[in-house]
Amino acid sequence: MNYKNPDEHGYYGEFGGAFIPEMLYPNVEELQKNYLEIIESEEFQTEYQDLLKNYVGRATPLYFAKNLSAKYQTQIYLKREDLNHTGAHKINNALGQVLLAKRLGKTRIIAETGAGQHGVATATACALLGLECIVYMGEIDIQRQAPNVARMKMLGAEVVAATSGSKTLKDAVNEALRDWINNPVTTHYVIGSVVGPHPFPDLVARFQSIISKEIKEQLKEKIGRENPDYVIACVGGGSNAAGTFYHFVEEQEVKIIAAEAGGLGVNSGKSAATTFLGTLGVLHGSKSLVMQTEDGQVIEPHSISAGLDYPGIGPFHAHLFKEKRAEFFSINDDEALKCAFELTKLEGIIPALESAHALAVLDKKKFNENDIVVICLSGRGDKDMETYLKKLDAGN
């Protein structure tokens, strides 16, 4: 079974494909035809790898968390994506796609963003590489995420409010797709996760796969073997998880665990746990699991972490779920919050709320004393300080 690569039409099992309006065919086909040849070329890789090393700060450390390990009676390693430039894994993909866009002769970049992390990463890559950048963001998110809006503006991006629907992430995606239809020749759409029409899920997974490539090398050096017993990551759309799982999915001895946002509880009506609540459907250009009503209306998701507040999941992960190659846990808001404070106290690391969902798996599953457990710490917590302070003021 091949979990890692989609077929030529972009399918992972029954999930994936490219479900797009006809007017988007030229843009998407141009990418489908060219992406592999360009990103696998030596010239591309030389420039990309140099930027990852000297600009982003890779390789990120694989840190043995001694205090956390003692508490949970197992061997826990944290993959420190929080130490990347701009504070999360998203820059790995944004830089890769902007480099690709340049090679396709594009001069203008568009992106969607929810909490603003992907918008900041894309605006950063555009400032560095000299491309025009327009970021679509829900009107409500613009109000909620003022610091990231300011960062994007300082980086030279134009932030455009999406004012339709619920005025959040999915509406921003729709606005970005509309822009792309109107500007097919000049513009590349930098999608921020392993979602969207083929080839985006594969393209983004390849750019994030550096995470598991490094984990293998670092484990080999630290413990003498490349494969851990477990890899764990949180899943919004699924890009940090795809990167963390990528080089392990074909290695049957490595167990794979994904943490979704349970919100206030899977059955509360305020949740974002797509594998628990979703059914087969099409969202933003690909067939996958989607939170929807019986007649196909997308259900508003909820999570305390903006990065996991998405009503779908990438086709790569839907396939891992369906085939039972990965085990999925649903982590509620309060469980994630507790683990964010715990990591801070035990290890002096303030994690992003998204990453805290991955940490919370430690409370849900018992690991053996000698198990090697690698957890992807996808980002740092600066952006979540307001939420954390509220919790502190309420007496933690």
Ligand X SMILES: *Cc1c(COP(=O)(O)O)cnc(C)c1O
What is the set of active-site residues?
Answer: 90, 112, 378
Distance in angstroms (rounded) separating the CA atoms of residues 77 and 376 = 9
Residue 235 interacts with ligand X (CB under 6 A): yes or no = yes
Range in contact with ligand X (rule: CB under 6 A) among 57-65, 166-174, 229-237, 366-374? 229-237
User: Which residue in the block uniquely carries the two structure tokens 């998407």?
Assistant: 28
- Cβ closest to ligand X, residue 162 vs residue 235: 235
**Among residue numbers 184 through 223, which ones bind ligand X (CB under 6 A)?**
193
The nearest distance, CB 306 to ligand X, in angstroms, is: 8
Using N-to-C axis directions, what is the helix angle for 90-103 and 42-51, rounded to 10°? 140
Q: Looking up tokens 């006809």, which residue turns up?
A: 22
* Binding positions for ligand X, 10-49, rule CB under 6 A: none
Nearer residue to ligand X within complex by CB, 75 or 92: 92
Rule CB under 6 A: is residue 355 a binding residue for ligand X? yes
Using the 8-state DSSP alphabet, how is residue 367 labeled? P
Residue 117 in the binding site for ligand X (CB under 6 A)? yes
**Angle of helix 200-208 relative to helix 25-39, nearest 10 degrees?**
30
Smallest Cα–Cα separation from 48: which of 126, 105, 100?
100
Reference 233, options 120, 28, 376; nearest CA is: 376
Of these, 239, 274, 275, 286, which contacts ligand X (CB under 6 A)? 239
Closer to ligand X by CB, 75 or 136: give it. 136
Q: Which is nearer to ligand X, 125 or 235 (CB)?
A: 235
Q: Is 378 in the site for ligand X (CB under 6 A)?
A: yes
Residue 22 burial (CB < 10 Å; 0-12/13-18/19+)?
Answer: exposed
First to last CA, the chain: 46
Query: Tell me, what DSSP letter sits at residue 307?
Result: G
Residue 148 binds to ligand X (criterion: CB under 6 A): no
User: Pairing state of beta strands 62-64 and 75-80?
Assistant: antiparallel
Nearest-5° angle of CA 292, CA 204, CA 1? 80
The DSSP symbol for 396 reads -
Q: Does 303 bind ligand X (CB under 6 A)?
A: no
Residue 234 touches ligand X, criterion: CB under 6 A: yes
Q: Residue 240 Cβ, how far from ligand X at the closest point, in Å?
A: 3
Asked if 93 interacts with ligand X (CB under 6 A), we say no
Name the minimum Å distance from CB 89 to ligand X. 6
User: Of 98-106, 136-144, 324-332, 352-360, which segment contacts ligand X by CB under 6 A?
Assistant: 352-360
Q: Which positions lie near ligand X, rule CB under 6 A?
A: 88, 90, 117, 193, 234-241, 307-308, 352, 354-355, 378-379
